[in-house]
Structure 1
């Protein structure tokens, strides 16, 4: 398998687990929070700064204000005029491109499909599931209180959507942005891994 795989996922769908198992199956590097750690090391920004930038995306209007100059300023005014959050996104994007240049790997989230959209060796996958199964996973595996699970899931999905929609100028979860979308509530995590593996080996 000589592809770079990006994985977008709904909260509680098990997308990270699917990515991890795929990486083990193909014996290739897996990147999730590792992207933040690498970007922090290269840029000099604290890891917390990257986490805060993602948290701001909960409200798209407030996020646009917090982003300051916005995504387009890099074209108009140069790096020095960018907001801190824009610089953080650029630092993260730089790391994503570097790990992709190093060879086949799996990258979870962080607009990786958009960042790598010019490459021909990238396969973009989206993992989703119905709300009931995501609530179940959130309670059993993430330790979220059952009475708060649905609210947490919707809030996290909104954060991911706003972050993606702002930076990528695309709609998060839109099937046209992905090569394959798969639901983990149908056959479970291992079945999803097998389906994706078969798709990639064609």
Structure 2
């Protein structure tokens, strides 16, 4: 079973992922741990921009969307490397276009976490010890970057409900209840059982 978690900034995805990893006893991959995995395999330099979530030039997005050769070379290589790094392992992955990369796995549970902008800003303000103004700028920049990043690497609109199994408001639920809701979804759908067949 692989659980992928996409998220708006400030939704507590790391805590949700940690709770799920503890519950299921499976590895939990964040940007840092995936970078280390790629470094250990000698593949980090080929995926640097992918891991850094660098803002993508809008012109490059337009060009790569129209030119399949450019798109294949620029965007699909890091996705294939990550697919190969994870293989068929049971794990949880935060971000990194996981719902798209692992879409052909029958044991995929893809999650999108959302929440009220004001609450997300407050969460980041506390987490990073920022002023309200700086926290707002951080959240808005992170969300904008993720929209462009996802579009660049997948050609899809980030946060589109049809691309995920479930969408939850983790700001209203809290991280523990969010993790429990995901666990209930997995139990009800029999996803964990199916992944071991």
| TM tier relative to shorter chain | 0.7 to 0.9
Tell whether 2:104 aligns with 1:108.
no
Normalised to the residue count of structure 2, the TM-score between the two structures is 0.82
Match for residue 77 of structure 2 among 77, 80, 90: 90
Inter-CA distance 118–150: structure 2 relative to 1 (3 Å threshold)? same
Tell me by how many angstroms 1:42 deviates.
Answer: 2.9
Q: Partner of 2:69 in structure 1?
A: 73
Per-residue deviation, residues 50-93 of structure 1 (Å, max 9, x unmatched): 455x2123x5x15527x879882268xx7xxx35xx4xx62354
Asked if 2 retains the 8 angstrom alpha-carbon contact of 1:4 and 1:100, the reply is no
Matches of 1:44 and 1:134, distance apart in 2: 31
Partner of 2:138: 152
Normalised TM-score (structure 1): 0.80
Residue segments in structure 1 that go unaligned for 5+ positions in a row: none
Contact 1:97 1:116 in 2 (8 A): no
1: CA distance, partners of 2:156 / 2:8:
16
Distance 1:14 1:139 in 2: 13
Equivalent residue number for residue 195 of structure 2: none
The verdict on how the C-alpha distance between 1:114 and 1:47 changes in structure 2, with shifts beyond 3 A counting, is closer
Counterparts of 1:181-196 in structure 2 under 5 Å? 181-196=167-182
Q: Paired residues, what number?
A: 186
| Residue of structure 1 aligned with 2:124, choices 129, 138, 148 | 138
The aligned counterpart of 1:42 is 42
1:47 and 1:143, CA in 2 relative to 1: closer, same or farther beyond 3 A? farther
Q: Which ranges of 4 or more aligned residues in structure 1 deviate by more than 4 Å?
A: 46-52, 67-71
Aligned pair partner of 2:86 in 93, 99, 105: 99
CA contact (8 A) 2:110 2:164 kept: yes
> Contact (CA 8 Å) 2:37, 2:85: kept in 1 or not?
no
Over aligned residue pairs, what C-alpha RMSD do you find?
2.6
Q: Distance in 2 between matches of 1:91 and 1:108?
A: 16
Say whether 1:167 aligns with 2:167: no
The structure-2 alpha-carbon separation of the partners of 1:134 and 1:32, relative to structure 1 and needing over 3 Å to count, comes to same
Q: Distance in 1 between matches of 2:26 and 2:157?
A: 29
Please state whether the residue corresponding to 1:157 is helix, strand or coil. helix
- For the residue of structure 2 that corresponds to 1:56, the secondary structure is coil
> Secondary structure at 1:201's aligned position in 2?
helix
Distance in 2 (CA, whole Å) between partners of 1:71 and 1:108 is: 29
